Amino acid sequence: MDKTSKISGSLSKNKKITVALSPKLFAFGGGTKPVSQLLFNKYDTDKNGVISMDELRFLCYDMGYFLSNTQLDWARTFIDKDGSGGINYKEFSSWWQNSSRFEHLLLSDEQFNKLQQITQLYRSYDKKNQGQLDKKQFKELFQELVRKKIMEENQANQFDEIDRSQDGKINFNEFVAWFYDQGVLEKMGILTQKKDQQEN
């Protein structure tokens, strides 16, 4: 019988789960490839070049973190930065390299309530409920963010830089990614953004 190692992870509301994992799970091979690439290849089970939400759920569960449906929806928004509906390797690697990778997905009820404030603010400028803002709408939203002291004038990145999908609109995923890059999610107490990152 194979020896097993145990990995403990946190569930929402500070519950704990312990999962017994076979060492073979991590016997990826592949020479000098980073673990992020090996994990991506392993869990991209249909080999279409993206990690689906179901595949991400399996990955997190194997690592000892079970995501509720609400947490999985947040993971979709947080990791899929261009809002394409799937997680490409660049997005996956960016998430994996942060030592708080799983903590960023397991938000508390209080953190989710704060996240709702962002959602409601964004939707207030998405008049047609299209899930995206044009340049005029985004400019108006940014001005309100400055008035509310959530953002500062010098944080007005170029529209084209925030528009990761380069479709001339800023969808909600891109908006959240911008907030994360600017440290706003940390400032609002939604996430803790650690500086120590690792390529594993």
Condensed to tens digits (0 to 9), the pLDDT of residues 123-139 reads 999 998 999 999 999 99
Measure the CA–CA gap between 98 and 75, rounded to whole angstroms.
Answer: 14
The pLDDT score that the predictor gives to residue 196 is: 46
Alpha-carbon dihedral angle through residues 24, 97, 115, 164, given to the nearest 10 degrees: -110
Domain that holds residue 167: 109-187
- What is the C-alpha to C-alpha distance for residues 163 and 167, in angstroms, rounded to an integer? 7
- Decide if 74 is inside a domain: yes
Determine, yes or no, domain membership for 192. no
Task: State residue 193's pLDDT score.
Answer: 57
Query: Do residues 92 and 113 both lie within one domain?
Result: no
For residue 88, pLDDT beyond 90: yes
Q: Are residues 74 and 123 in the same domain?
A: no
How many domains, in total, are found in the chain?
A: 2
pLDDT at 123: 95
Q: Which CATH number do you get for residue 26?
A: 1.10.238.10
User: Residue 138 has what pLDDT?
Assistant: 94
Does residue 80 belong to any structural domain of this protein?
yes
For residues 171 and 141, membership in a common domain is answered with yes
Asked if the structure places residue 103 within a domain, the reply is: no
- State the Cα–Cα distance between residues 56 and 86, nearest whole angstrom: 10
pTM for the whole structure: 0.73
End-of-domain residue from the set 96, 131, 151: 96
* pLDDT number for residue 115: 92
The reply to whether 195 falls in a domain is no
